[in-house]
Chains A and B, each alone.
Chain A
Amino acid sequence: MHKYIIRRILVFIPMLIMLSIIVFALAKAAPGDPFTGKILDPTVDPEVFNEQREALGLNDPIPVQYFRWATSMAKGDFGESMYYKGRDVQSLISERIVNTVYLGLFALVITLVVAIPIGIYSAKNPYSPLDYSATTFGFLGLAIPNFFFGLIAIYVFAIKLGWFPAQGTISNIHITGFSEFLNRIHHMVLPGITLGLAGTATYMRYMRSEVLDVLGSDYIRTAKAKGMNDRNVLYKHTLRNAIIPIITLMGFEFGALLSGAIITEQVFSYPGLGTLFINSITNRDYPVIMSITLLLGVAILIGNLLADIFYSIVDPRIRYD
């Protein structure tokens, strides 16, 4: 078990290096640099730009640039923003990342709280009216794009009904204590549901088919033949098995959650990593873009790592290989 976890962590390191190379290469491959748009400005001597490029090291050989970037990233120095002059990337990211983490957690909690019980119910009562409704909702949830659902939600629940705010994280900065918490939750409802929609549909379908599968298995028949009651059969024997693939799914879905957050934050003008990311792309703010991309990649890798480790804990069959 410990060996397994250590091995998984060791595999993590080369993946991290690969990821950093890819991020760097993509950033380099993208046309233009922070000076590109300005080169057409006839009042500025192109030579000035070139001097600046030289100063920033943008004219060095690519491997040299990569190595310089990677070592400073590894030291926790993400560089300086090229757009917000004088601000380092860490501070830009750290003031936004909390919002994104909260939003993601909120969406995940909604997703699991809704999807798992409904999935179980659907499996226990296949082809019941609720099962059919859940199936329909599931297809809609997967088919409707995030941003579209978000716009509709804003129109209906924020503008028409006025139940929830349409944007931001808090009404004003003077709110404190428990009412601050409530106010933040209130702001998170619409983006949270929007972000959690596709995941809810996915987990629900998954849970339904897993539970249905397990309920038909031999060991469930054994449990029943032993005289175990319905509750024991469902909550002990069935769920403990059905949850295993769900954990793997969470590893995969983590990436979808993060990329969904980028779009959702944009729709709701929610000041998180996603809006920062999109803005940085528009501004060609490479240090920020690269840092966020790398951060998202690392988050996904860690998500998968955690899912794997968790998986090895709940499934005794893979502990010893």
Chain B
Amino acid sequence: MTQQAVLQVDNLKTYFHLEEGKTAKAVDDISFKISPGETVALVGESGSGKSISALSIMQLINKPGRIEGGKITLNGKDITNYNAKQMTKIRGNDIAMIFQEPMTALNPVFTIGNQITEIVRKHKNMSRQEAHRHAIHLLKLVGLSRAEEIMKEFPHQLSGGMRQRVMIAMAISCDPMLLIADEPTTALDVTIQAQILDLMNEMKERFQMALLLITHDVGVVSQYADRVMVMYGGQIVEEATVDVLLESPKHPYTQGLLDSLPMVDKDVNRLGTIKGTVPPAYDFPSGCRFSTRCPHVMEKCHSQNPSLSTSDSEHHVRCHLYPSEVKE
């Protein structure tokens, strides 16, 4: 814990201001840290705010969304109030991001070569030839052996798995300290998924990046992550190391997630044991946000939203069932 965190997020809030004066609290007061070389998984059902958290870190929130508060520290530097120009030097260079849909994430009218050289020329000040050589090197690194040809090809000529490799090549091209992967394999065939995740893990180790891995898949979490954060209703409801969390989940939501594991091919979207659906972000229940679905709901849960306990520095949980720990 003496090491400086690569990324520290404090009390981040991102709201969407909808019509009729409604406010969707997509991300509501989340705090976490990622240490160098660490893989942190962010899990939770659809709509829990995972993508918006990631995009907030990149300052890529579009209207009607807005970052309402909080602090983002990158490698000791407070980047919260960086302007658009300053952020272009961070994005792709210090923090890289990979998205869920490889089919649409690449620009259809430019060649792969164009799209990779563009980023290294921007951040690494390379000449055209240097950038070209570097791009070919990157493509080979991510397992695309026909690199020279692929440079001249367009995205539609590649398969989904190949495109995601291109995205990874682009992400690692400028040696970022943090890689954010937002469900990088959800859209791919099961057989390809493992290859892409292994590749990402390999690149992570090779370039000593920290990795924020957003996923639905608890299987992926157990295999690749060091630490897990469980998100529900725009908040982190539980956080622990992978072993602890999988072994002894405390939050009823996490327990529900894990219980449902063997039954539904690990897809959190189709939970067997948690009744109901996530309430919309503009209409959370008062009190605990999970109270509408929690099997252990108590009187207190309806009036008071529990805070994330900090008593146990390794295992945080946001639930009234664990009040005693606060005093220890």
Question: Which residues of A are at the interface with B, using a C-beta cutoff of 8 A?
Answer: 216-219, 221-230, 232, 237, 240-241, 244, 314-317
* Chain A residues in 8 Å Cβ range of B93: 227
Name the residue among A222, A229, A237, A314 with the largest chain B CB count within 10 angstroms: A222
> Across the interface, do A219 and B122 meet the contact criterion of CB distance under 8 Å?
no
Tell me the bound Cα distance from A218 to B156 in angstroms.
15
* Chain A residues in 8 Å Cβ range of B118: 226, 228, 232
CB-based nearest B residue for A241? B109
> A241 to chain B: closest CB distance in Å?
6
> A227 to chain B: closest CB distance in Å?
4
> Across the interface, do A317 and B108 meet the contact criterion of CB distance under 8 Å?
yes
- B107 near A: Cβ within 8 Å? yes
Q: How many A-B residue pairs have CB under 8 A?
A: 75
The verdict on A225 contacting B91 (CB below 8 Å), with A230-B84, A316-B156, A317-B156 known, is: yes
Tell me the bound Cα distance from A219 to B170 in angstroms.
13
Within 8 A of A (CB), among B91-135: 91-93, 96-97, 99, 101, 104-110, 118-119, 122-123
Instruction: Tell me which of A219, A226, A227 contacts B108 (CB under 8 A).
Output: A219
* Chain B residues in 8 Å Cβ range of A227: 87-93, 119, 122-123
> B118 to chain A: closest CB distance in Å?
7
- B58 near A: Cβ within 8 Å? yes
* Chain B residues in 8 Å Cβ range of A221: 60, 99, 105
- B154 near A: Cβ within 8 Å? yes
Query: What are the 4 closest A-B residue pairs judged by CB atoms, nearest first?
Result: A227-B92, A226-B92, A218-B104, A227-B91
> B318 to chain A: closest CB distance in Å?
30
> Across the interface, do A316 and B97 meet the contact criterion of CB distance under 8 Å?
no
> A127 to chain B: closest CB distance in Å?
10
* Chain A residues in 8 Å Cβ range of B119: 226-228
* Chain A residues in 8 Å Cβ range of B90: 227
Instruction: Tell me which of B60, B84, B89, B156 contacts A225 (CB under 8 A).
Output: B60
CB-based nearest B residue for A223? B107
- 5 further A-B pairs in the complex, CB-CB below 8 A; given A222-B105, A226-B122: A219-B107, A225-B91, A225-B96, A227-B123, A228-B119
- B85 near A: Cβ within 8 Å? yes
CB-based nearest B residue for A221? B60
* Chain B residues in 8 Å Cβ range of A225: 58, 60, 91-92, 96-97, 99
Tell me the bound Cα distance from A267 to B85 in angstroms.
53
Contact with A along B230-262 (1 / 0, CB 8 A): 000000000000000000000000000000000
> Across the interface, do A226 and B170 meet the contact criterion of CB distance under 8 Å?
yes
* Chain B residues in 8 Å Cβ range of A315: 108-109
* Chain B residues in 8 Å Cβ range of A226: 91-92, 118-119, 122, 170
* Chain A residues in 8 Å Cβ range of B84: 229-230
* Chain A residues in 8 Å Cβ range of B122: 226-228
> Across the interface, do A222 and B154 meet the contact criterion of CB distance under 8 Å?
no
* Chain A residues in 8 Å Cβ range of B60: 221, 224-225
> Across the interface, do B92 and A316 meet the contact criterion of CB distance under 8 Å?
no
> Across the interface, do A224 and B91 meet the contact criterion of CB distance under 8 Å?
yes
Tell me the bound Cα distance from A196 to B317 in angstroms.
65
Instruction: Tell me which of B62, B87, B99 contacts A222 (CB under 8 A).
Output: B99
Tell me the bound Cα distance from A273 to B119 in angstroms.
53
Tell me the bound Cα distance from A244 to B196 in angstroms.
33
Name the residue among A224, A229, A314 with the largest chain B CB count within 10 angstroms: A224
> Across the interface, do B107 and A229 meet the contact criterion of CB distance under 8 Å?
no
> Across the interface, do A229 and B91 meet the contact criterion of CB distance under 8 Å?
no
Contact with A along B24-52 (1 / 0, CB 8 A): 00000000000000000000000000000
CB-based nearest B residue for A244? B109
> Across the interface, do A240 and B99 meet the contact criterion of CB distance under 8 Å?
no
Instruction: Tell me which of B91, B108, B123, B154 contacts A241 (CB under 8 A).
Output: B108
* Chain A residues in 8 Å Cβ range of B101: 218
> B151 to chain A: closest CB distance in Å?
14
Tell me the bound Cα distance from A229 to B121 in angstroms.
13
Contact with A along B65-100 (1 / 0, CB 8 A): 000000000000000000011011111110011010
* Chain B residues in 8 Å Cβ range of A240: 107, 109-110
* Chain B residues in 8 Å Cβ range of A314: 109
CB-based nearest A residue for B55? A221
> B289 to chain A: closest CB distance in Å?
28
* Chain A residues in 8 Å Cβ range of B62: 216
CB-based nearest A residue for B63? A126
The verdict on A222 contacting B106 (CB below 8 Å), with A227-B93, A228-B122 known, is: yes
Tell me the bound Cα distance from A226 to B97 in angstroms.
8
Tell me the bound Cα distance from A226 to B173 in angstroms.
10
> Across the interface, do B105 and A218 meet the contact criterion of CB distance under 8 Å?
yes
CB-based nearest B residue for A126? B63
> A173 to chain B: closest CB distance in Å?
49
> Across the interface, do A229 and B99 meet the contact criterion of CB distance under 8 Å?
no
* Chain A residues in 8 Å Cβ range of B167: 222
Contact with A along B146-170 (1 / 0, CB 8 A): 0000000010100000000001001
> B280 to chain A: closest CB distance in Å?
21
The verdict on A219 contacting B88 (CB below 8 Å), with A225-B60, A240-B110, A317-B156 known, is: no
A–B pairs, 21, beta carbons within 8 Å = A217-B104, A219-B104, A219-B107, A222-B99, A222-B106, A224-B60, A225-B58, A225-B91, A225-B99, A226-B170, A227-B89, A227-B92, A227-B119, A227-B122, A228-B88, A228-B92, A240-B110, A241-B108, A241-B109, A316-B109, A317-B156
